[in-house]
Amino acid sequence: MPVALDDAPLRHTARSRLAAVVRGSRAAAAREADRRWLEHSADYAKALAASLTTGAMRTDCDGLSFDVPPSEKPSRLTARLMNGILPWHDVLQQRGLGVGTVTLDIGANIGTTSLTRIVAGDAQRVYAAEPDPTNYLYLVHNIATNGLRGFVLPDAIAISSRDGEGHLKIARRIGNHQL
């Protein structure tokens, strides 16, 4: 029989958890990781300096702020975010698979999972891979806006089972792209 998971404690303590992470004992190490990541990734430096696209939507969910790219028809992810819903329940469900020092977020989109994993305390660092240029820009912006630079290290890359180049089919909505 499935166990009911209550995400209310995470939702209600997210703001104070975020403040604790940003000011906590790992903040200096995160600043150093961010400095090294800037040296490593020209895409990251470029995204930090770039402006968001016109028409970006902003939502605040449980103390975290997210800017979302504009779209003709909002995706389910966009609708959930605009209604203040973050994937806390998913975080709780996946805890049985492993909680540890590092999380890999493959297809990180705009960072909802990456940021919640850090705030929930499920990872000390998240490596977030996002190949779509628009989503990557928003991912970097959301990391910076929430003060989580160095805790989440984004890369403008796709991860696959084989080496090489592929074609990314860009959908009209976030969360629906295909490689």
pLDDT at 1 over 70: no
Q: Collapsing DSSP states into helix, strand and coil, what is residue 153?
A: strand
- Given a contact cutoff of 8 angstroms between Cβ atoms, the answer to whether 70 and 55 are in contact is yes
pLDDT in tens, 10-22: 889 999 999 999 9
pLDDT-above-90 percentage for the chain:
62
The average pLDDT across 36-59 equals 95
pLDDT at residue 19, as a whole number:
96
Residue with tokens 């970097």: 140
Residues 6+ apart with CB under 8 A from 177: 131, 132, 135, 168, 169, 170, 171
Lowest mean pLDDT among 44-53, 64-73, 119-128, 148-157: 64-73
User: How many C-alpha atoms does 173 have within 13 Å on its Cβ side?
Assistant: 10
pLDDT-above-70 percentage for the chain:
91
User: How many C-alpha atoms does 158 have within 13 Å on its Cβ side?
Assistant: 16
Please spell the DSSP secondary structure of 19-85, one letter per residue: HHHHHSTTHHHHHHHHHHHHHH-HHHHHHHHSPPPTT-EEEEETTEEEEE---SS--HHHHHHHTT-
The average pLDDT across 119-139 equals 95
pLDDT in tens, 95-117: 777 677 899 999 999 999 999 99
pLDDT at 142 over 80: yes
Backbone torsions φ then ψ of 35, nearest 5 degrees: -60, -45
